[in-house]
Structure 1
Amino acid sequence: MLTPLTSPALNRAGIRHAFFTREGGVSTGVYASLNGGIGSNDDPAAVAENRHRMAAYLDVLPEHFLSLYQIHSAIALDVEAPWPLAERPQADAMVTVKPGLALGVGAADCGPILFADPEVGVVGAAHSGWKGAIGGVLEATVDAMERKGAQRSRMIVALGPMLGPENYEVGPEFMAQFLAADAGNACFFRPGRRETHPHFDLPGYISARLERIGIGEIDKLNLCTYADPQRFFSYRRKTHLNEPDYGRLIAAIRV
Structure 2
Amino acid sequence: MIELKNVTASYGTRIILDNISLKIEQNKTVALCGKNGSGKSTLLSLIDGIIPAGLKVSGEVLVDGQNIFSANRKEAAKLVSYLVQNEKPVWNFSVRQFVETGLYSHERTSKIKTDNKINEVLSRVGILDFSEKKIFNISGGEFQKSRIARCLIQQSKNLLFDEPSESLDAAFEIELLKMLKSISDKEGKTVVFSTHDVNSALRFADDVLVLDRGNIIEKTPASIIEEGCKVFEKAFDAKISLCYPAEASPGAGKPVVVFD
Tell me the TM-score normalized by structure 1.
0.30
Tell me which structure has the larger Cα radius of gyration: 2
TM-score normalised over the length of structure 2: 0.30
Structure number with higher strand proportion: 2
